């Protein structure tokens, strides 16, 4: 018997010990009062509670999970897709610091939005600002951009000229609006102070994991911009599809 | 003697200064960009409830970013489009109307990295509430600190989960549907894909999910079944329905690289897997037009070349 065969035979029991046990899917959990079919509660949330009712919740199962009693009926979580990945939303950096702004010298800063809607169907992320960039306690603002010719909350336009002033954003990456044709296309944020509705900046009707986009913020001021510290708050709201 | 003392003092000051300098630039902690990373579960709650009854839903929020302070809110919403997107109604009057429906702790709480928090939301449609659907989004909002630095914007994160409520005394609200659109091209090239568009409208009094399929029969050929995704269709609205495969939502597209012949496509679905099936049928003809055009072009070029050389 060659040395190689001896080594192989010696290793066999070790490999056998390392093999994992066969895992059986849990079929049914039962009690005299309730039944949970195909339990899959490791997503760890959203379990309906009641002191009076038996609850059976299926999160992310193909089988229907229905909690019923004499007063309500509930389903939590999407019944047809795995909810093991919760709906999540991340912003890479919350502070977008432009530093000292010099007239006719545009400054751009970026951050990243990441969405995982594995436990939901599609999703949307909407954006809006509380007001244009403004000096606190003053009426001085860096106005929202009109781009080189025109752009709106819903339609991006080219903003390349250094003599066009304002504050706006561009988007690149996954699930972004189609009007951000390239990195020169910008929009102003919807201004809630001006009763403008938040606008979708990322959306998909499909399950997505690690969908990512980069937001590029741009500020450009004129020589007549009053001195001061300008700031505002951009609110991103991520909601799964219903 | 005095000189020595002075020297020692100077060396001491220099030593302390050097230590602080090194400490500042070498051993100081690196400043991380403040990342916000939140997850919320479950993403949707569908509740049919009698007026005056209560139900408690637990929403679990997990923080995987920097420590944050968060606050919960609930806003009504209306369907924004046919894609399942919601338009939050955030004006104070609309929110206040439904304030008696919900009881939950609205006190802002701090969450450290990897911390999580369960929000217990007690839902009680008041006695006398009109029997119909009501749609809400539970929102968790990061409370921003004061602006830092000069000339900056602060990004505020909010994450939501939808709550669909049907208020019904008997638990069986009337559900009605109609297939607004079931379409596909009537004539396609054999090398193109056969895409279906399915739009289902809700003409009843409670949201529902369509349960059904598209059965595609190639005349004198094979049969393919595309399963419709059971997506919620809300009252008064319509929804474009995608298909589902292996628990992934996908476009309703006939698989295959080469299609030829007549394809009969039957859409059938029921509401919430019960009641009478609603059906529609369409036909598509697939023919290799591109091949035909290619052959024709080659033939014309051949004829021209032959004529010129002859």
Query: What domain range is B163 assigned to?
Result: 38-144+155-167
Top residue of B82, B151, B232 to mutate, by most chain A CBs within 10 Å, is B151
Quick check: B86 and A95 CB within 8 A? no
Nearest to A225 by CA among A108, A95, A100: A100
Residue of A nearest to B51 (CA): A71
Report pLDDT for B253: 95
Whether residue B192 is found in the same domain as residue B82: no
B249 falls within a domain: yes
Report pLDDT for A197: 94
Tens-digit pLDDT profile for residues A87-108 = 999 999 999 999 999 999 999 9
SS3 A14: helix
Quick check: B137 and A239 CB within 8 A? yes
Whether residue A129 is found in the same domain as residue A176: yes
A207 touches chain B (CB under 8 A): yes
Interchain CB contacts (distance < 8 Å): A and B = 258
Quick check: A205 and B34 CB within 8 A? no
- Strand order of the β-sheet with B36-41 is A166-173, A211-220, A107-116, A87-91, B36-41, B55-63, B116-123, B102-103
Which residues in chain B touch residue A229, judged by CB atoms under 8 angstroms apart? 150-151
Whether residue B103 is found in the same domain as residue B79: yes
Report pLDDT for B28: 42
DSSP label at residue A102? B
B37 touches chain A (CB under 8 A): yes
DSSP label at residue A183? T
Which residues in chain B touch residue A46, judged by CB atoms under 8 angstroms apart? 41-42, 45, 57-60
Lowest mean pLDDT among A36-40, A199-203, B237-241: A36-40
Q: Which phi and psi (to 5°) does residue A130 adopt?
A: -75, -30
Report pLDDT for B146: 62
Nearest CA to CA, how far is A182 from chain B (Å)? 23
Tens-digit pLDDT profile for residues A170-209 = 999 999 999 999 999 999 999 999 999 999 999 998 877 8
Whether residue B161 is found in the same domain as residue B183: no
A161 touches chain B (CB under 8 A): no
Q: Which of A88, A133, A206 sits opposite B37 (nearest CB)?
A: A88
A6 falls within a domain: no
Which residues in chain B touch residue A211, judged by CB atoms under 8 angstroms apart? none
- Asked if pLDDT for residue B179 goes beyond 60, the answer is yes
- Asked if pLDDT for residue A33 goes beyond 60, the answer is no
A13 falls within a domain: no
Please name the residues between 119 and 138 in chain B that touch chain A, using a CB distance below 8 Å: 120, 135, 137
Report pLDDT for B255: 86
* CATH number, position A139: 2.60.40
Whether residue A101 is found in the same domain as residue A166: yes
Question: Would you say B83 and A122 are in contact if contact means Cβ atoms under 8 Å apart?
Answer: yes
Report pLDDT for B106: 94
A200 touches chain B (CB under 8 A): yes
Whether residue B112 is found in the same domain as residue B182: no
Whether residue A73 is found in the same domain as residue A103: no
Whether residue A132 is found in the same domain as residue A176: yes
Nearest to A205 by CA among B251, B269, B199: B251
Top residue of A108, A119, A237, A238 to mutate, by most chain B CBs within 10 Å, is A237
Whether residue A47 is found in the same domain as residue A160: no
A133 touches chain B (CB under 8 A): yes
Nearest CA to CA, how far is B242 from chain A (Å)? 8
A1 falls within a domain: no
Please name the residues between 159 and 198 in chain B that touch chain A, using a CB distance below 8 Å: 159-162, 164, 171
- Report cis status (omega within 30 of 0) of the bond before B42: yes
Question: Would you say A118 and A209 are in contact if contact means Cβ atoms under 8 Å apart?
Answer: yes
* CATH number, position B46: 2.60.40.10
A236 falls within a domain: yes
Residue of B nearest to A50 (CA): B56
Tens-digit pLDDT profile for residues B13-50 = 666 656 555 544 444 443 345 899 999 999 999 999 99
Q: Which phi and psi (to 5°) does residue B298 adopt?
A: -60, -45
Quick check: B153 and A80 CB within 8 A? no
Whether residue A170 is found in the same domain as residue A185: yes
Q: Which of A73, A120, A238 sits opposite B44 (nearest CB)?
A: A120
Whether residue A31 is found in the same domain as residue A105: no
Number of folded domains that form chain B: 2
Report pLDDT for A192: 95
Q: What is the 3-state secondary structure (H, E, C) of chain B?
A: CHHHHHHHHHHHHHHHHHHHHHHHHCCCCCCCCCCEEEEEECCEEEEEECCCCCEEEEEEEEECCCCEEEEEEEEEEEECCCCCCEEECCCHHHHHHCHHHEECCCCCEEECCCCEEEEEEEECCCCCCCCCEEEEEEEEEECCCCCCCCCEEEEEEEEEEEEEEEECCCCCCCCCEEEEEEECCCEEECCCCEECEEEEEECCCCCECEEEEEEEEECCCCEEEEEECCCCECCCCEEECCEEECCEEECCEECCCCCCEEEEEEEEEEECCEEEEEEEEEEEEEECHHHHHHHHHHHHHHHHHHHHHC
Report pLDDT for B178: 84
* CATH number, position B250: 2.60.40.2950
Whether residue A128 is found in the same domain as residue A66: no
Please name the residues between 12 and 41 in chain A that touch chain B, using a CB distance below 8 Å: none
Whether residue B137 is found in the same domain as residue B192: no
Whether residue A80 is found in the same domain as residue A102: no
B149 falls within a domain: no
Whether residue B231 is found in the same domain as residue B111: no
Name which residue leads in pLDDT, A129 or A48.
A129
Q: Which of B42, B152, B232 sits opposite A98 (nearest CB)?
A: B152
- Please state the pTM of the whole predicted model: 0.79
**Residue range A58-75: mean pLDDT, rounded:** 53
Question: Would you say B233 and B201 are in contact if contact means Cβ atoms under 8 Å apart?
Answer: yes
Whether residue B188 is found in the same domain as residue B281: yes
Nearest CA to CA, how far is A28 from chain B (Å)? 21
Task: Please report which helix (H) or strand (E) contains residue A76, including its range.
Answer: strand A72-76
Whether residue B188 is found in the same domain as residue B160: no
Quick check: B60 and A44 CB within 8 A? yes
Tens-digit pLDDT profile for residues B45-77 = 999 999 999 999 999 999 999 999 999 999 999
Whether residue A55 is found in the same domain as residue A173: no
Number of folded domains that form chain A: 2
Quick check: A205 and B47 CB within 8 A? no
A199 falls within a domain: yes
Whether residue B110 is found in the same domain as residue B210: no
A55 falls within a domain: yes
Quick check: A93 and B242 CB within 8 A? no
Among A27, A50, A84, residue at a domain's last position: A84
Name which residue leads in pLDDT, B287 or B11.
B287
Both tokens of B65, joined, read: 């970013």
Q: How far is CA A210 from CA A86, A174, B141, in A?
A: 12, 9, 21
Whether residue B115 is found in the same domain as residue B202: no
Query: What domain range is A117 assigned to?
Result: 88-240
Whether residue A230 is found in the same domain as residue A140: yes
B38 touches chain A (CB under 8 A): yes
**Residue range B99-125: mean pLDDT, rounded:** 96
CA atoms within a 13 Å half-sphere pointing along the CA-CB vector of A141: 13
Instruction: Give the whole-number percent of chain A exceeding pLDDT 90.
Output: 57
Quick check: B43 and A86 CB within 8 A? yes
Give just the sign of the alpha carbon dihedral A103, A105, A106, A108.
negative
Nearest CA to CA, how far is A42 from chain B (Å)? 12
Q: Which phi and psi (to 5°) does residue B308 adopt?
A: -65, -40
Mean pLDDT of chain B: 88
Q: The complex's ipTM? A: 0.82
Instruction: Give the whole-number percent of chain A exceeding pLDDT 70.
Output: 67
Q: Which of B42, B54, B153 sits opposite A76 (nearest CB)?
A: B42
CA atoms within a 13 Å half-sphere pointing along the CA-CB vector of A23: 4
Quick check: A206 and B234 CB within 8 A? no
Quick check: A236 and B158 CB within 8 A? yes
Report pLDDT for A85: 63
Whether residue A123 is found in the same domain as residue A30: no
User: A26: pLDDT confidence band, cut at 50, 70 and 90?
Assistant: very low
Report pLDDT for A75: 81
Report pLDDT for A207: 77
């Amino acid at each position: 018997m060659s040395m190689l065969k001896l080594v192989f035979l010696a290793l066999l029991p070790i490999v056998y010990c390392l093999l994992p046990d066969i895992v059986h899917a849990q079929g049914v959990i039962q009690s005299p009062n309730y039944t949970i079919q195909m339990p899959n509660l490791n997503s760890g949330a959203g379990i309906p509670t009641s002191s009076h009712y038996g609850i059976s919740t299926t999160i992310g199962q193909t089988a229907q999970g229905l909690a019923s009693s004499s007063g309500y009926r509930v389903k939590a979580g999407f019944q047809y897709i795995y909810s093991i990945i919760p709906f999540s939303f991340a912003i890479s950096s919350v502070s977008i610091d432009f530093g000292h702004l010099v007239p006719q010298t545009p400054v751009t800063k970026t951050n990243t939005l990441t969405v995982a809607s594995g436990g939901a169907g599609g999703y949307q992320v909407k954006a809006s600002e509380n007001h244009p960039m403004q000096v606190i306690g003053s009426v001085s603002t860096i106005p929202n951009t009109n781009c080189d010719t025109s752009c709106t909350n819903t339609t991006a336009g080219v903003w390349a000229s250094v003599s066009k002033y304002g504050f706006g954003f561009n988007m690149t990456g996954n699930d972004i609006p189609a009007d951000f044709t390239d990195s020169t296309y910008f929009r102003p944020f919807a201004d809630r102070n001006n009763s403008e509705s938040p606008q979708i900046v990322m959306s998909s009707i499909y399950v997505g994991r690690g969908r990512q986009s980069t937001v590029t913020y741009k500020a450009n001021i004129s020589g007549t911009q009053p001195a001061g510290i300008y700031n505002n708050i951009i609110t991103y709201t991520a909601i799964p599809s219903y | 003697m005095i000189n020595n003392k002075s020297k020692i003092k100077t060396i001491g000051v220099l030593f302390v200064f050097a230590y602080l300098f090194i400490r500042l630039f070498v051993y100081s902690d690196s400043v991380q960009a403040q990342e916000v990373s939140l997850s919320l579960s479950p993403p949707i709650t569908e509740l049919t409830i009698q007026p005056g009854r209560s139900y408690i839903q637990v929403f679990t929020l997990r923080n995987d970013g920097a420590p944050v302070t968060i606050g919960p809110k609930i806003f009504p919403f209306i369907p924004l489009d046919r894609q399942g997107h919601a338009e939050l109604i955030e004006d104070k009057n609309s929110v206040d109307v439904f304030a008696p429906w919900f009881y939950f702790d609205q006190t802002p709480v701090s969450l450290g990295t990897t911390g999580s928090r369960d929000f217990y939301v007690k839902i009680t449609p008041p006695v006398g509430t009109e029997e119909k659907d009501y749609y809400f989004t539970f929102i968790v909002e990061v409370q921003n600190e004061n602006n830092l630095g000069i000339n900056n914007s602060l990004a505020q994160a909010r994450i939501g989960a939808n709550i669909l409520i049907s208020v019904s005394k008997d638990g069986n609200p009337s559900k009605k549907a109609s297939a607004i659109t079931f379409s596909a091209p009537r004539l396609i090239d054999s090398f193109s894909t056969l895409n279906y568009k399915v739009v289902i409208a809700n003409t009843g009094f409670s949201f529902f999910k369509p349960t059904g399929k598209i059965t595609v029969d190639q005349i004198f050929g094979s049969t393919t079944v595309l399963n419709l995704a059971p997506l919620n269709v809300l009252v008064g609205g319509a929804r474009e329905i995608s298909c589902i495969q292996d628990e992934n939502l996908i476009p309703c597209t006939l698989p295959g690289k080469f299609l030829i012949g007549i394809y009969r496509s039957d859409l059938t679905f029921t509401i919430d897997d019960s009641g009478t099936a609603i059906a529609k049928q369409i036909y598509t003809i697939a023919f290799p037009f591109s091949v035909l055009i290619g052959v024709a072009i080659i033939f014309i070029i051949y004829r021209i070349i032959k004529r010129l050389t002859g």
